[in-house]
Structure 1
Amino acid sequence: MDIRFSGSRSGTAPLTWGQRAIWDAIRKTAPDDHYFNFGRVLAVPRRARPLTVTRAAEILGVLVERHESLRTRLSAGLNTGLETSVGTGPGAASSSRVPAQAGGQDGGAEPAQVLGTAGSIPLTVSRDDPERLMEELSATPFDYAGEWPLRVGLVVAEDETVTHIVLVFCHLAADGLGAEVAITDLRLLLLRGAVPGPTPPSPLDLARWQRSEPGLRVARIAAEHWEREYRRIPPTMFDRRVAAPEGPPIWRAHLVSRALDLAVQRIAAVYGTSTSTVLLAASSVLVCSVTGHEVCAMLPIVGNRFRQDAAQAVTTLSQEGLFVLDVGGRSFAEVLRAAKPAALRAYRSAYHDPGDRDRLTERVSRDRGTRVHPYCCFNDMRFIDRVDASHDERTVRTAMEETTLTWPLSQDQLNCRFCLHVTGEGGGLGVSLTADTRYLPKEAMERYLRDLESLLVEAAFHETLEPVG
């Protein structure tokens, strides 16, 4: 069975800033670009049961009609215009996968986004575990020109009614927050048959705004920050190959720590900031410790949903900001105080035109006589921030005995050398470090994560943390 949809318009446009950013990452990671696929599982609400496969397919079709990003593919053709064109036809798309080298300054013509009006998405029906089904649907790269950017699976019970709906997104169509909007809307469609409120803006609409005078003004301000900081940061945070890889060079270490979760909550409450800023500051301290630099340049992934009209958009708005922190000679408390305004500057810089960033990177690299790129990323993927100063030292230190560390991933290609991901886990805080082991060997990766836990547990009870203001 397929999910059939028929929207109200079609059109082509240049890529949005968010699409350009993730496309650049995708093409640099191919053929391992399935790395960027991600999914969500929705248990069918009790009030929406029994749900047949046919009815589920109808509701999913309505979801795709509402959110145009879910029926937007790439064209491998040359993008020559700046204005969005909108029509009523079906919107043609290539049937072959866009090659990884296409697009961006290093690979020729940048593809355009193509919105289709009508079509169908294959539906996988399974009795498998929903998490396992999500892994299977995520395991292969999307055909960015020939495949719709959404894969869907239904888990059915013995009576053939649907118990879980699995959505797997191409990162060109949605980021983590956009996926949450899609899941919320899907739940409403299951329960009420409709989603209240106006239709949120689509990538076509965003591409038009980003090329308007207000959009260009935002881009100019962001570009000024990037160029100013690029002229003073270390050209690259991980600048020396220190080992030969054992097998695939890219590995991921995943630490789950309740002690880290409690310690970070306490520090954030005392300091009067977010747990994300605390983790960003501590991560920067340890990056400088590992690399020997006194200034840390890190690229936090920022949601960019501060504009009211874009808050409920299912699209990819997340981009890298530039976080720069002077670490050398400072206590952790002093680093924390400096991290708060540095984080705000980084968040503002994230909503930028990647074309501007490419041009200024080339200019500054030429002026400095070396390539400038941090190759050091931070991505807090949580949606809820909890702070609590009441956690006592004995409880936190005892919880360290429960900490686990696993190695869930290895692959050949990645567009970065050091990527830290933060997630909420059932057993505490999850921190994943994906790194190029030629620059940070596996034993150093494990030591980094253990040191991160130790640093923050010590800071929670033995640093003089003074709130700002």
Structure 2
Amino acid sequence: MVDRIVVTFEGDGAGVGGLTWGQQQVWRAMVEVDSSMSMGGVVPITDGRTLPDFVEELRFLMSRYAALRSRLVFDEPWHATSVDACHLVRQEIAARGEAYLEVHDAGPGEDPAAVAAAVFTAWKARNFDYAAEWPIREAVVRQDDTITHVIVLVCHIAADGSGLGTMIREMGERDPVTRQPRRPYTAMQPLALVAAQRGAQKQTDTALRYWETQLRSIRPRRFPVTVDRGEPRWRRVVWRSTALMLASERVAAELGIDTAPVLLAAYGAAFNTVTGQTAPFATQVIVSNRFRPGLADVVTPLAQNGLVVVDVSGVTARDVIGRARRASMNASKHAYYEPAARLALIDRIGLLHGEPVDLAVFYNDRRVGVLQAPDPLDTVPSDADIRSALPLTELVSETPMVYFNEKLMVNVDDVVGTIQITVEVDTHHLAIEDLYRLLAEMESFTVSAATSVDQAVASM
């Protein structure tokens, strides 16, 4: 049995306006893959919270964050399905309204965890109704009058992972008695950010000058050939390497940096090795933009693509790491711009090259807390530690995908005690066996850099 409890709310930031730059990028991806790209999950409840507690939690979320009170407005029907109309889509944020908390009852013989999982799976499989539905779904599972699980799903057009983290953190900071926020919400609401970005033409101009320089310096193609190999085209691979983690920590400590540029360098060197290229390595990276003033706690998608270009040929591994670090910093600095202007620039540079510029190679280090001071050198992994971890490297899974809108996407996951990499690949451009070679080369590059005294040479 399912009950729906009406939850009234009201909050600031109401009005009608365009999408933020980050929302435009997210909406384009959502249209391309026909998915709400939703985030959320199922959480067991062990602290005795009751149904009224969850009613107040949903009221808090809806009232505090204007992004959750937004619906999309399509002035023309085709705006809802065209990647070329992302800059024309608008959002309407309500000042007040009603949301619904679903209550799913698990019977005496049912497993409430299974009930919760079934609800989440069904929700995840169903796109949000962007024009009519609030971009959050919340439900609880109840058994014998006890709440056992809460299920939450948030549409990506409303928030990214960091914004979701802000909501969770601030919900936990509420007064334990009154359940009211301890402080007012001071971060920009989405429409205020839209207005600020409208006046940021200088920021876009600076970013596009960087992009143009980099786009002119690279070859248009990322892959030498395109071949239908008669295999499932789109794949997702999950791979883990403890040796890669230990080696990256060792190199980072010795160089006095964090591990992020070490792994980026390994990716670039491995990519050129596997594809047989000597040209500078180029990849788009996902930049959160939350380091920018006033954006740390904003609840709306903020991430945009940055462009990393690194010459990885004929230099030592540690030289490649240094170059990757500088390139990553430049990419982050210039990853905040008006999206339509960047797309027009890419098209224009393609005309100059005589063919479209292929930027469908991505890298996303989505770990939290990697930007930390390195450990003292006397506590970092030894050569023996690193080499003894090599047999632990494992392929976790390989599964087909229904569709993938890029050619290669390498994600570094936030998993304790190892480096986990999740890769989506189009095997028409990179064969599955070459993908496995790329992962092995990333490990080999980093282990060599860690266990040799700057002797490893990138000779791609």
Judged with a 3 Å threshold, the aligned counterparts in structure 2 of structure 1 residues 376 and 463 are, in CA distance, closer, same or farther, namely farther
Q: 1:447 aligns with which of 419, 437, 449?
A: 437
Matches for 1:187-202 after TM superposition, within 5 Å? 187-189=172-174, 191=176, 193-199=179-185, 200-202=187-189
Q: Give the count of matched residue pairs.
A: 436
Q: 1:57 to 1:404 in 2, by over 3 A?
A: farther
Relative to structure 1, is the Cα distance of residues 252 and 62 closer, same or farther in structure 2, using a 3 angstrom cutoff? same
**Residues 209 and 252 of structure 1: is their aligned pair in 2 closer, same or farther, counting only changes over 3 Å?**
same
TM-score normalized with structure 1 length: 0.86
Partner in structure 1 of residue 381 of structure 2:
391
- Listed as ranges, the matches of 1:31-70 within 5 Å are 33-34=35-36, 36-40=37-41, 44=45, 49-70=47-68
How far the C-alpha of 1:449 sits from its partner, in A, is: 1.5
Task: Select which of 4, 7, 25 maps to 2:7.
Answer: 4
**Structure 1, 456-465 or 291-300: larger mean CA deviation:** 456-465
Deviations 1:127-183 (A, max 9, x none): 216677645532333232232212223345x44333543322211111111111111
CA–CA separation in structure 2 for the residues paired with 1:72 and 1:321: 27
Identify the match of residue 129 of structure 2 among 143, 146, 167: 143
Are residue 377 (structure 1) and residue 362 (structure 2) matched?
A: yes
Q: Return the letter of the residue paired with 1:203.
A: P
Distance in 2 of aligned mates of 1:99 and 1:421:
32
Which secondary structure does the structure 2 equivalent of 1:420 belong to? strand
* 1:279 corresponds to 2:263: yes
Q: Is the CA contact (8 Å cut-off) linking 1:63 and 1:185 kept in structure 2? A: no
Alignment TM-score, normalising by the size of structure 2: 0.87
Structure 1 unaligned spans of 5+: 79-97
Selected match of 1:211 from 186, 189, 198:
198
Identity percentage of aligned residues: 29
Distance 2:394 2:315 in 1: 30
Match of 1:23 in 2: 27
Question: Partners in 2 of 1:233 and 1:132 — Cα distance?
Answer: 47
Of the candidates 93, 96, 99, which is equivalent to residue 115 of structure 1?
93
2:20 is aligned with what amino acid? T
1:71-150 map, 5 Å? 71-77=69-75, 102-105=81-84, 110-116=88-94, 117-123=96-102, 125=104, 127-128=112-113, 134-150=120-136
- Tell me if the contact between 2:79 and 2:89 (Cα under 8 Å) persists in the aligned partners: no
Contact 2:19 2:87 in 1 (8 A): no
**SS at structure 2 position matched to 1:321:** strand
For 1:427 and 1:3, how far apart are their aligned partners in 2?
Answer: 43
- Once the two structures are TM-superposed, the CA of residue 299 in structure 1 deviates from its matched residue by 0.9
Question: Does residue 1:342 correspond to 2:321, yes or no?
Answer: no
- Counterpart residue type for residue 60 of structure 2: V
State how far apart, in whole Å, the 2-side matches of 1:71 and 1:257 are.
42
1:211 is displaced (CA, Å) by 0.5
Deviation at 1:7? 2.1
Structure 2 CA distance for partners of 1:425 and 1:121, relative to 1, 3 Å: same
155, 166, 182: which is aligned to 1:181? Answer: 166
Indicate the larger mover: 21-30 or 114-123.
114-123
How far off is 1:428 after superposition? 1.4
For residue 151 of structure 2, give the secondary structure of its aligned residue in structure 1: strand
Amino acid at match of 2:21: W
SS of equivalent residue, structure 1 residue 228 = helix
Kindly report which structure 2 residues correspond to 1:255-270, keeping only aligned pairs within 5 A, or say none: 255-270=239-254
Give the aligned residue type for 2:252: A
Which runs of 5 or more residues in structure 2 are unaligned?
107-111
- In the alignment, the residues of structure 2 paired with residue 267 and residue 191 of structure 1 have an alpha-carbon distance, to the nearest angstrom, of 45
When structure 1 is superposed on structure 2, of 411-420 and 385-394 the one drifting more is: 385-394
| Counterpart residue identity of residue 210, structure 1 | Q
Shift in alpha-carbon separation, 1:402–1:137, aligned structure 2, 3 A: farther
Aligned counterpart in structure 1 of residue 302 of structure 2, from 317, 321, 339: 317
Matched ranges for 1:290-369 at <5 A: 290-293=274-277, 294-369=279-354
1:379 Cα deviation after fit: 1.0
Q: Which amino acid aligns with 1:270?
A: E
The CA RMSD measured in Å over matched residues stands at: 2.5
Contact 1:219 1:351 in 2 (8 A): yes
- Alpha-carbon distance in 2 for matches of 1:264, 1:381: 16
Larger displacement relative to structure 2 (56-65 or 193-202): 193-202
Q: What is residue 146 of structure 2 aligned with on the other side?
A: 161
CA contact (8 A) 1:254 1:433 kept: yes
Name the amino acid aligned to 2:53: R
**CA 1:408/1:115 → structure 2, altered by over 3 Å: closer, same or farther?**
farther
Confirm or deny: 8 A CA contact 1:188 1:194 kept in the other structure: no
User: How far is the alpha carbon of 1:413 from its aligned partner?
Assistant: 2.2
Contact 1:3/1:61 (8 A) holds in 2 = no
* Alignment-derived partner of residue 251 in structure 1: 235
Whole-angstrom distance in 2 between the partners of 1:152 and 1:165: 7
- Is residue 376–residue 418 contact of structure 1 (8 Å, CA) maintained in 2? yes
Aligned to 1:418: 408
**Residue 268 to residue 165, structure 1, CA distance change in 2 (3 Å):** farther
Q: Which amino acid aligns with 1:8?
A: G
Q: Which moved more, 1:388-397 or 1:56-65?
A: 388-397
Cα distance between partner residues in 1 of 2:235 and 2:322: 33
| Residue 99 of structure 1, CA deviation | 6.8
Aligned with 1:236: secondary structure? coil
What is the rounded CA distance, in whole Å, between the counterparts of 1:109 and 1:313 in structure 2? 20
Q: 1:257 to 1:159 in 2, by over 3 A?
A: farther
Q: 1:456 aligns with which of 422, 446, 454?
A: 446
**Residues 297 and 324, structure 1, Cα contact 8 Å, conserved in 2:** yes
Structure 1 CA distance for aligned equivalents of residues 59 and 50 of structure 2: 14
2:455, 2:138 → 1: CA distance?
48
